[in-house]
Each structure stands twice: as structure tokens, then as C-alpha cells.
Amino acid sequence: MKTDVNRPKVPNEVVEGRANCAQCPIRSQTLFADLPDSALDQIRIAIDNVSYPAHTTLFKAGARDGALFSIRQGKIKLVRQLPNGTLRTVRLLRQGDTLGLEAMQNLPYRHSAIAVTEVRICRIPMAVIHTLKQQHPELERQLIMRMQQQLDTADQFITDFSTGTAEARVARLLLFLESTSTGVYCELLGREEMASILGITTETASRIMADFRRRGLVSGVINVSLSCDQTQLQQIALDM
């Protein structure tokens, strides 16, 4: 199974070596969660572990890279350019998510993918996917599930992050970013990133976050997370 040795390198891209999917610490969250170790051992030579610093564009809308990307660490936003030139974030992907699913249909990527934080990803050539699908039909279930997840997230961005008061939108975004492991901490996003997702100004995002701090709805910074008052944020999120 060949790798894409002739693929142009993305600026700031660092190839850290080959993926060891069988030993991946987040394997249960990934596209290959249902595959046996024997299948994963066969594909090690074809999948690269790659890292990018924040603000790197992994691919642009309209590009064809012939690969899927599985996020091992960090956050990536999918953006679309509006007619006035403004970039609007239409989806936010995190650890365990898969992007580039358009390649499954040999279609160009619909959105540009930009690293919000430093990210580490596994780049999976479509040749690997096709081979595994033939040998392991259970992969199809994971692919369908991830396509549905992306549809669900797209719906959430439309209904939760584009309607209601600015304060309610910020509260909903904080709840969306809530850590699944604790239910107490919300992952940090920059004010510009929040504004791009919610369709508000950076100044409005900053003002609301400052107000939330004064009211004790968010507090402190632990690593890359805020302590959040889930109950009060849920009440604010209901404001239409």
C-alpha cells in the first residue's frame, strides 16, 4: 500500500512518523474503532501522523487531496467565504472527529479547514479506506455514523448558533464546548473564533464573556478550559 509521496507539503506541516493505529490512545473515538488489530497493523505504512501549528490551512475549499483526516488532538474549523469576503465558521471539529469525507465520493472539499489550535491528525489516503471497506464491512458503519454526526453538527450550528440573542448563543457555544469527561469545564476559544461561529462581532463576544465572568458563570483557567456553571448557562441558552 503506497503513500502519497508526491503530494505537495502543506506549509508548517510536520510529519511525525507513521501511525500506529492499534496502539492509538483515542482508538475508541476514531474511524477505525471497530477494526481488529490485524487490520490496523496492515495499514501502518500508509498513514502519516502529522502536526500543524494554530492558524494553518490544512486544505482549501475546492481542493482534492484524496484523503480523510482523523483528529488526534486539537480543534479544526471548517470555514466558508461569504460573498462579502468574510470567513464564516460553519463547523468545529475536535479530537476523534473525521474531516474530508467528501473524498469518499471523489468530490472536492466543500470548506476550507483551518487549525484553531495546534493540531495533530492522521492523514488517511482513500486507497486505505477502499481496501479496508472491502475486507471489513464494519468500517462502513463508522463512515455512515460520522456522516450523520456532521449533519447533526451542521444543524446545531444553524439552530443554536445562528438564532436567539447574542448572550444565548454564547451560552450554547460554551455548553457545546463542555468537556465530555467532566461536564464542568468548557474548552477555551478565542473571541474572534467565537464571533465567527456565532455571527456576532468580536467586541460583543468579549463583552458577554466579561459579563459571564462577573456573574460567576465562568471562572478561572485550568490548562485550556474554563470552569462553567452548567445550570445557569442552560437557562440563558433557552432565551430565543
Instruction: Write down the domain spans for the chain.
Output: 14-159, 166-237
- The pLDDT-based confidence of 181 (bands split at 50, 70, 90) is very low
CATH topology of domain 14-159: Jelly Rolls (2.60.120)
pLDDT (tens digit, 9 = 90+) per residue, 113-124? 999 989 999 999
Quote the pLDDT of residue 179: 58
Phi, psi angle pair for 234, to nearest 5°: -65, -35
Alpha helices in 100-190 (DSSP H): 126-135, 138-159, 166-176
Which uninterrupted H or E stretch holds 231?
helix 230-237
What is this structure's pTM?
0.84
pLDDT (tens digit, 9 = 90+) per residue, 183-238? 567 777 889 999 999 999 999 999 999 999 999 999 877 566 788 888 999 999 99
Secondary structure of residue 157 in the 3-state scheme: helix
Spatial separation of the C-alpha atoms in residues 198 and 166, rounded to whole Å: 8
| Predicted confidence (pLDDT) at residue 134 exceeds the cutoff of 60 | yes
| Predicted confidence (pLDDT) at residue 15 exceeds the cutoff of 60 | yes
Report, in this order, helix, strand and coil percent for the chain, each rounded to 5. Answer: 40, 25, 35
pLDDT (tens digit, 9 = 90+) per residue, 49-105? 999 999 999 999 999 988 999 999 999 999 998 888 888 899 999 999 999 999 999
Secondary structure of residue 16 in the 3-state scheme: strand
Secondary structure of residue 98 in the 3-state scheme: strand
pLDDT (tens digit, 9 = 90+) per residue, 151-173? 898 898 889 999 999 999 999 99
Tell me the DSSP string of 23-42.
Answer: G-TTGGGSTTTTS-HHHHHH
Query: In CATH, which of 3.90.320.10, 2.60.120.260, 1.10.10.10, 1.10.287.3510 is domain 166-237?
Result: 1.10.10.10
Phi, psi angle pair for 52, to nearest 5°: -140, 140
Quote the pLDDT of residue 208: 96
Quote the pLDDT of residue 65: 86
- The pLDDT-based confidence of 5 (bands split at 50, 70, 90) is very low
| Predicted confidence (pLDDT) at residue 3 exceeds the cutoff of 50 | no
- The pLDDT-based confidence of 18 (bands split at 50, 70, 90) is confident
